[in-house]
Copies of this chain bind each other. A is one copy, B any other.
């Protein structure tokens, strides 16, 4: 098989620990399926700030640009929280998204049967929940002009939310395409009763929908969506929304599954290139203890196989292995009901590797 180049960014906190397990999984799929991967490692986030004085060093960015896909652990931690903006891990995250043109963040929120009880929602409400939030990732208030100025009532701060038609079109098309492969239902979330960007959003989504007559489109206001996710999570399938709303709603959706240590995400641009990472953060409180759950990162590899490489057999093998290990009752601390029986990061990784 052709050699695929994967840029690996461990990052901060539990990042290196969960990435190590994902790399074991990569190696195992080479053996079992004959695929070939070349991995390269780069500094990013807090560790890059400490060692290189910037969260996104140029050589890390170059490495990512030369790769077929990026696998990211997690970034951030309290020690960098009060740094000036250009020395914060988040700035690196926003920078890499923009520099790699990753305009779309895809976050599946699924229920793992054996973890149903971990949710704070009633099991009968959660039943059948399987949704994807498609979040616009390189536009909106995240990337608009920001500044301070003196006003009549003291200092003022300004953030600008901007969207153009082309940005909305490409994310809308992607969401419609994904909806087409699933149950053909798309919910577009905006605040069209207040925001001009939302009105342009809604008009554009409606125009694009003409090309997808087989997909049923509904428009949901963001405040209502925050409610409906709680009231009827299983009635959603694909949700598409702008950057800021997507940040909030995708976290809400992830939490209601109760399986946040298990969820993976993909950030995509034009073409097959993508950046894959777990939904959970760097968890500085348990970093270095070998206690982190590597499953979300391992499932990010499966997502990479599906969306970037088209290696569906290996993706399926990984997903099946995870299910098998969970069904056999193995749990890391975050998902164990009886904490005394919890296994560590490497033990979980080994079990999954063996099951592939």
Q: What residues make up the interface of A, taking CB atoms closer than 8 Å to B?
A: 81, 88, 90, 94, 120-122, 125, 141-142, 144, 146-148, 151-167, 191, 193-197, 199-201, 222-224, 226-227, 230-231, 244-245, 247-252, 254-256, 260
Contact = CB atoms under 8 A, between A and B. Distances in A.
Given A141-B194, A153-B164, A223-B247, 7 more contacts: A141-B141, A148-B200, A155-B165, A158-B161, A191-B244, A226-B226, A248-B248
27 contacts: A81-B193, A90-B193, A90-B194, A120-B121, A121-B121, A121-B230, A141-B141, A141-B159, A146-B195, A147-B196, A148-B200, A155-B164, A155-B165, A155-B200, A156-B162, A157-B201, A158-B161, A158-B162, A158-B196, A158-B197, A161-B161, A222-B247, A226-B226, A227-B251, A227-B254, A245-B248, A252-B252
Among A144, A193, A231, residue most surrounded by chain B Cβ atoms (within 10 Å): A193
A88 B196 contact: no
A270 to B, nearest CB: 14
Nearest to A247: B223
Given A120-B231, A153-B164, A154-B166, A159 B226 contact: no
Among A165, A226, A254, residue most surrounded by chain B Cβ atoms (within 10 Å): A226
Given A146-B195, A223-B251, A256-B230, A160 B163 contact: no
A245 B155 CA distance: 21
B193 A88 contact: yes
A187 to B, nearest CB: 15
A250 B162 CA distance: 25
